[in-house]
């Protein structure tokens, strides 16, 4: 920054450092606009080359430009969303839309996401594992709620933040339907296990869903749930643009658990989950969604909210806090 220009870091404290993945022309415009808003921009190669620069990058949040993106870029984007250590915002807006107001809104979103990055798991005291939590003498535990978490682009980071902020959930079973490439389910489960006291496992045929578990839905199979919570996996032969289907998993949980079903829709493209949240709400269950401002891509939670079924929206941390309070109240009322 030239010496004659005001230094936004001196005025407002340390500026948020944004890692920008874009080609030369789009990157120049985005960098200038964000720096005018007081952010510090670190230029990174456009995808797929940007993947190799992640280890040395010092960014607190990533901005990935997808305007005129090729299939190669989208293939690399899937890997980026799985492995990026910081929140990601995807930009599909062209230069004509990038006004001063647009940049200020984008800067506020990037700043908010950078401020919401959870501390490393080792820095937080973890709650007791499910097996160590006991009910007071004479008190019968409430029948567990079963929550379906649906997510797509930006979902892995949002879900990590959610579980990192959730102080245990003794009255709940979780199913996670994350749009993901085949072969990445084990990796996602492993990553989430490092951030939560809950037990995160890939859903397998014959598993029994129990409180304190997070079952990650397989990519190419539909999850069916038996009367005792026993899982049966059936091949998903339908043509789908994204897998696994959030709608199908929500509909299955709604039909099996009725008013004990719940759903939270996190960041993602498209409208998968919009049919599912209607089924959860019709069964008497709770439906929540991530807010637009904290979502890397807000299409999925916005489409869920447009159904009228969503009763609460917030950041992943706010949703985690709300769920902890909701389950505590539910347990006390049982």
Tell me what pLDDT residue 225 has.
96
Q: Which helix (H) or strand (E) holds 226?
A: none
**Mean of pLDDT values over 296-301:** 94
What are the phi and psi torsion angles at 245 (to 5°)?
-80, 120
- The answer to whether 118 touches 191, Cβ cutoff 8 Å, is no
Greater confidence (129 vs 201) lies with 201
Which residues, 6 or more positions from 120, have their beta carbon under 8 angstroms from its beta carbon?
none
Told to judge if 122 belongs to the known catalytic residues of this protein, a careful annotator would answer no
Which pLDDT tens digit goes with each residue over 235-270?
998 888 889 999 999 999 999 999 999 999 999 999
Tell me what pLDDT residue 277 has.
97
Told to judge if 3 belongs to the known catalytic residues of this protein, a careful annotator would answer no
Strand-pair category, 17-21 with 61-65: parallel
Q: Which domains does the chain have, with CATH numbers?
A: 13-115 (3.40.50.2300), 140-333 (3.40.50.180)
Tell me what pLDDT residue 116 has.
44
For residue 268, CA distances in Å to 16, 27, 159, 289 come to 24, 23, 12, 11
Find the catalytic residue in 179, 245, 294, 298: 179
Confidence of residue 323 (pLDDT cuts 50, 70, 90): very high
Residue 208 has, within 13 A of its CA and on its CB side, a CA count of 4
Tell me what pLDDT residue 273 has.
97
Q: Is the pLDDT at 120 greater than 80, yes or no? A: no
Tell me what pLDDT residue 123 has.
29
**Mean of pLDDT values over 202-231:** 94
Greater confidence (39 vs 68) lies with 39
Cα–Cα distance, 90 to 227 (Å, whole number): 41
Told to judge if 93 belongs to the known catalytic residues of this protein, a careful annotator would answer no
Cβ-based neighbour number of residue 295 at 10 Å: 30
Whole-angstrom Cα Rg for the chain: 21
Reference 169, options 193, 187, 146; nearest CA is: 146
Confidence of residue 302 (pLDDT cuts 50, 70, 90): very high
Tell me what pLDDT residue 203 has.
96
Cα–Cα distance, 126 to 269 (Å, whole number): 32
Give the global pTM.
0.65
Q: Is the pLDDT at 152 greater than 60, yes or no? A: yes
Find the catalytic residue in 272, 291, 298, 299: 272
- The answer to whether 182 touches 78, Cβ cutoff 8 Å, is no
Find the catalytic residue in 65, 152, 291, 296: 152
Tell me what pLDDT residue 128 has.
37
Angle, in degrees to the nearest 10, between helices 316-333 and 155-165: 50
Q: Is the pLDDT at 143 greater than 80, yes or no? A: yes
Torsion, Cα 29 31 35 41, to 10 degrees, reads 180
């Amino acid at each position: 920054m030239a010496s004659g220009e005001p230094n936004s870091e001196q005025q407002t404290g340390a500026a948020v450092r944004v890692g920008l993945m874009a080609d030369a022309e789009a990157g120049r415009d985005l960098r200038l606009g964000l720096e005018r808003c007081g952010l510090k921009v670190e230029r990174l190669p456009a995808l797929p080359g940007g993947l190799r620069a992640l280890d040395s990058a010092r960014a607190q949040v990533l901005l990935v430009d997808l305007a005129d993106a090729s299939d190669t870029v989208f293939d690399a984007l899937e890997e980026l969303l799985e492995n990026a250590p910081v929140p990601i915002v995807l930009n599909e807006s062209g230069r004509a839309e990038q006004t001063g107001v647009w940049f200020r809104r984008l800067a506020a979103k990037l700043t908010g996401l950078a401020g919401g990055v959870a501390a490393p798991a080792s820095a937080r005291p973890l709650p007791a594992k499910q097996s160590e939590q006991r009910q007071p003498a004479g008190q019968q535990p409430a029948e567990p709620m079963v929550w379906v978490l649906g997510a797509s682009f930006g979902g892995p980071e949002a879900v990590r933040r959610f579980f990192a902020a959730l102080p245990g959930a003794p009255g709940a079973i979780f199913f996670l339907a994350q749009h993901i490439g085949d072969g990445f389910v084990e990796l996602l489960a492993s990553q989430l296990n490092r951030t939560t006291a809950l037990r995160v496992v890939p859903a397998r045929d014959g598993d029994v869903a129990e409180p304190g578990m997070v079952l990650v839905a397989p990519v190419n199979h539909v999850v069916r749930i038996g009367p005792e919570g026993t899982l049966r996996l059936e091949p998903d032969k339908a043509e789908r643009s994204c897998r696994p289907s959030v709608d199908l998993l929500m509909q299955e949980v709604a039909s099996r658990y009725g008013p004990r079903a719940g759903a939270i829709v996190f960041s993602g493209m498209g409208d998968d989950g919009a049919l599912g949240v209607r089924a959860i709400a019709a069964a008497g269950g709770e439906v929540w969604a991530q807010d637009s401002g904290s979502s890397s891509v807000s299409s999925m939670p916005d489409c869920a909210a447009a159904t009228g079924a969503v009763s609460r929206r917030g950041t992943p941390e706010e949703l985690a806090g709300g769920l902890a309070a909701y389950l505590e109240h539910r347990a006390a009322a049982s």
